[in-house]
Chain A
């Protein structure tokens, strides 16, 4: 079993829909959680960063962490065609400085 599990999709939604992307993990030592967005033929770029449990909002994006369930989510409101990309969750333990463990990514397609 992988440390981080993520549904690969593809997930297809109409423009304006609310999108929910999720990851589950098995390592209870993970403390820092991130979402990266990767456009086709490009490198990933950091979208959201959260520490421990709770919610964080940035514009149309909300990241949620539930450490008790080992479950993290990314919500996208009013989705746009420009949101079409692969979304990767990433996480790390405290004290590991830079060693991130990534999910395999969920491919999202927002249609007109």
Chain B
């Protein structure tokens, strides 16, 4: 398996622009997570889905952030409009719900820079 796939790997944009991050989870995994990582705040859970349904979005910082999972193999995280403080590495992770551990498999991340 190719693992969790994220695109783009790097994104540089200007303040006010719309940013869309993409994720393909591992086939057969029914949980999908979006995280944000910064030096100051570490790794923060933004939202997670189970069977394509959003379960907990309490970590989404503002209404500028939205996430969708239209099917089991694709999810997007959108920021509109983007701001410099959104600069961070965004990770997608997936997990198989029936597994008896909390193993979450992380993608390589998208490094977002908002100028």
A interface vs B, CB < 8 Å?
A: 6, 32, 34, 41-46, 49, 88, 90, 92, 97-105
Contact = CB atoms under 8 A, between A and B. Distances in A.
Nearest to B107: A43
A42 B111 CA distance: 11
Contacts, number: 58
B93 A43 contact: yes
A43 B108 contact: yes
B42 interface: yes
Contacts of A97: 50, 55, 97
Given A43-B91, A46-B101, A49-B101, A99 B45 contact: yes
A58 to B, nearest CB: 13
B56 A100 contact: no
Interface in B38-55: 39, 41-45, 48, 50, 55
Contacts of A101: 45
Given A98-B33, A98-B95, A44 B102 contact: no
B108 A100 contact: no
Q: In the complex, which of the residues B97, B106, B107 has the most CB atoms of chain A within 10 Å of its own CB atom?
A: B106
Given A43-B109, A44-B106, A45-B106, A100 B45 contact: yes
Contact of A99 (B43, B56, B93): B56
